[in-house]
Chain A
């Protein structure tokens, strides 16, 4: 289990996104930079502080999560979709690696991309706003757990999808609304009760809340619950992805 062949797929996944850095690394840095400038600098002075933290700093954990979730998901989903479409996934399916190993190697590849993207945005936050990370270890745990969960979701969609559209549908119709409604730009305490309750069932809210606790030391709700939810999603998606790979669902005939 998890022998050299497994790590070669991980290496392949990382090399792939490094090679495509203009599509895989730069866009989230640029869009996060724009969010920081437009929302933080332009609007921040009018909003003031939230929970004793400058608004510009308050939004950074949400922007980091945005830069973790989408790239982690897109990495594994696009990579698998492309390998399926051009049939070079067969080169991997015929090797002595199990479905579990193959799916985990794709998940790790996506996780690395998610964490690297998140780290870039943290760095950008530091240079543009002086943002400081309170707890590096917990921050890393959040970045990697959430990236793992969404890389797992990417594997599932990559296996399931029959066209590129399906992959973008998930990003545009599910992840983006959930991220924006997950309290990136506001504290849920600022919302009316109905929307506050609505936010509580959004898993992305908990993930952002947890990272905000890890970096800034503030949270709307329990940080332990945030960590628990992130871990449950990571386990759920990666288990389902591995199960699908092992069964050869839509990959083997």
Chain B
């Protein structure tokens, strides 16, 4: 089966010499929920831009269900819906007209476009706002319109660039549920996000992109197993002299024993037995595991928290 999206040795050098993509490869299977995670300026939006035709390609190729994004752009673009990070609305028209126009650009007849618009407005709880203009809507509603615009022509592949940026928790969860639902119904979703929880909750596979290169690709669990740290934290009631935990080394931090291992749940009984045999009394045992966020920090040297804070402060500025 052809991948929904495939990117081979993709390169982008912007005017002025900035090399935004340094030959990245991605293969996103049909029906998957895929995350592209990376700090600001890593190349996420450039990658999406090339796939959707907003950015000119420097080298390599991008294809959509086997259709080349440059030479077969008509077939390729028809299959994709894009929700850009920055809200962008045609200011002359109402929400309903906007969606009808967008469906029309993809070749829907006036009648079909109206029907698709009605469905989208219902699904996003915007039916009452059909005749309102975007500027009259709240931030959350605008974001819903933005996503509806990406879906109005019923594309097989949906690309969402920071879909929940700046929305409240309730709407974020509503959008997550909606995205899960359309993914289960068969749509392939490519998501970029600053919210680690979003990637962990939604994505089957994640690629971490940094400085124009893909540095890791796997499921969130495997990424944390491969690049993160996990182990056991054991609190003893009293200190045991010359404790050995074969074959592991351990650290004693604030009276708590930390043993790093890949599968702490499997090895827990073994470790406990060794401690008991050496006369130790155990007060508490806990499994610790690195989060995807720790993995991200380890791989990129940048914290997503900083990214979030930067991003949110930018948004706050825009809202002034």
Known: A3-B107, A8-B101, A90-B84. A95 touches B77 (CB 8 A): yes
Could you tell me the distance between the alpha carbons of A88 and B101 in the complex, rounded to whole angstroms?
Answer: 12
A252 at the interface (CB under 8 A from B): yes
A92 at the interface (CB under 8 A from B): yes
The residues of A that contact B90 with a CB separation of less than 8 Å are: 12, 83, 86, 88, 91
Q: Are A5 and B88 in contact (CB under 8 A)?
A: no
B105 at the interface (CB under 8 A from A): yes
Q: Are A252 and B80 in contact (CB under 8 A)?
A: no
B89 at the interface (CB under 8 A from A): yes
Q: Are B105 and A86 in contact (CB under 8 A)?
A: no
Interface residues on B, range: 20 to 34
- Interface of B: prevailing SS: loop
Q: Are A90 and B88 in contact (CB under 8 A)?
A: yes
Point out the residue from B15, B56, B106 that lies within 8 Å of A5, measured CB to CB. B106
B227 at the interface (CB under 8 A from A): no
Point out the residue from A94, A98, A253 that lies within 8 Å of B56, measured CB to CB. A253
B285 at the interface (CB under 8 A from A): no
The residues of A that contact B74 with a CB separation of less than 8 Å are: 96, 98
The B76-95 residues at the A interface (CB cut-off 8 A) are: 77-78, 80, 82, 84, 86, 88-93
Q: Which residue of chain B lies nearest to A19 when distances are taken between CB atoms in the complex?
A: B92
Q: Are B14 and A82 in contact (CB under 8 A)?
A: no
Point out the residue from A9, A83, A86, A96 that lies within 8 Å of B77, measured CB to CB. A96
Could you tell me the distance between the alpha carbons of A4 and B106 in the complex, rounded to whole angstroms?
Answer: 8
Q: Are A95 and B88 in contact (CB under 8 A)?
A: no
What's the nearest-Cβ distance from chain B to residue A59, in Å? Answer: 35
Q: Are A96 and B91 in contact (CB under 8 A)?
A: no
What's the nearest-Cβ distance from chain B to residue A95, in Å? Answer: 4
B268 at the interface (CB under 8 A from A): no
Q: Are B101 and A253 in contact (CB under 8 A)?
A: no
The residues of B that contact A83 with a CB separation of less than 8 Å are: 90
What per-residue 1/0 map shows which CB atoms of A4-39 lie under 8 Å from chain B? 110011011001100110000000000000000000
Q: Are B102 and A91 in contact (CB under 8 A)?
A: yes
Point out the residue from B54, B73, B92 that lies within 8 Å of A253, measured CB to CB. B54
Q: Are B149 and A94 in contact (CB under 8 A)?
A: no
Could you tell me the distance between the alpha carbons of A5 and B102 in the complex, rounded to whole angstroms?
Answer: 9
Q: Are A87 and B88 in contact (CB under 8 A)?
A: yes
The residues of A that contact B244 with a CB separation of less than 8 Å are: none
Could you tell me the distance between the alpha carbons of A47 and B80 in the complex, rounded to whole angstroms?
Answer: 65
Q: Are A94 and B77 in contact (CB under 8 A)?
A: yes
Point out the residue from A82, A86, A88, A96 that lies within 8 Å of B78, measured CB to CB. A96
Q: Which residue of chain B lies nearest to A79 when distances are taken between CB atoms in the complex?
A: B92
The residues of B that contact A5 with a CB separation of less than 8 Å are: 104-107
The residues of A that contact B88 with a CB separation of less than 8 Å are: 86-88, 90-91
The residues of B that contact A4 with a CB separation of less than 8 Å are: 104, 107-109
The residues of B that contact A87 with a CB separation of less than 8 Å are: 84, 86, 88
A97 at the interface (CB under 8 A from B): yes
What's the nearest-Cβ distance from chain A to residue B150, in Å? Answer: 9
What's the nearest-Cβ distance from chain A to residue B182, in Å? Answer: 19
The A97-124 residues at the B interface (CB cut-off 8 A) are: 97-98
Could you tell me the distance between the alpha carbons of A88 and B15 in the complex, rounded to whole angstroms?
Answer: 23
Question: Which of A5, A20, A88, A252 has the most C-beta atoms of chain B within 10 angstroms of its own C-beta?
Answer: A88
Q: Are A253 and B14 in contact (CB under 8 A)?
A: yes
Q: Which residue of chain A lies nearest to B101 when distances are taken between CB atoms in the complex?
A: A12
The residues of B that contact A94 with a CB separation of less than 8 Å are: 52-54, 77, 80, 82
Q: Are B54 and A91 in contact (CB under 8 A)?
A: no
B23 at the interface (CB under 8 A from A): no
Q: Are B107 and A86 in contact (CB under 8 A)?
A: no
Could you tell me the distance between the alpha carbons of A132 and B136 in the complex, rounded to whole angstroms?
Answer: 48
B55 at the interface (CB under 8 A from A): yes
What per-residue 1/0 map shows which CB atoms of B96-114 lie under 8 Å from chain A? 0000011011111100000
Q: Are B104 and A8 in contact (CB under 8 A)?
A: yes
What's the nearest-Cβ distance from chain A to residue B49, in Å? Answer: 7
Known: A4-B109, A5-B106. A93 touches B92 (CB 8 A): no
Known: A5-B106, A86-B89. A93 touches B53 (CB 8 A): yes
Q: Which residue of chain A lies nearest to B97 when distances are taken between CB atoms in the complex?
A: A15
- Closest 4 CB pairs between A and B? A8-B104, A87-B88, A96-B74, A95-B105
List 27 A-B residue pairs with CB atoms under 8 Å apart, sorted by A's residue number.
A4-B104, A5-B106, A8-B105, A9-B105, A15-B92, A20-B92, A83-B90, A86-B89, A86-B90, A87-B86, A87-B88, A91-B88, A91-B90, A91-B149, A92-B105, A94-B52, A94-B53, A94-B54, A94-B80, A95-B105, A96-B78, A97-B105, A98-B74, A252-B53, A252-B54, A253-B15, A253-B49
Q: With A87-B86, A252-B53, A253-B54 given, name 18 new contacts (CB 8 A).
A: A4-B108, A4-B109, A8-B101, A9-B105, A11-B104, A83-B90, A86-B89, A86-B90, A88-B88, A88-B91, A90-B84, A94-B52, A94-B54, A94-B77, A95-B77, A252-B49, A252-B55, A253-B55
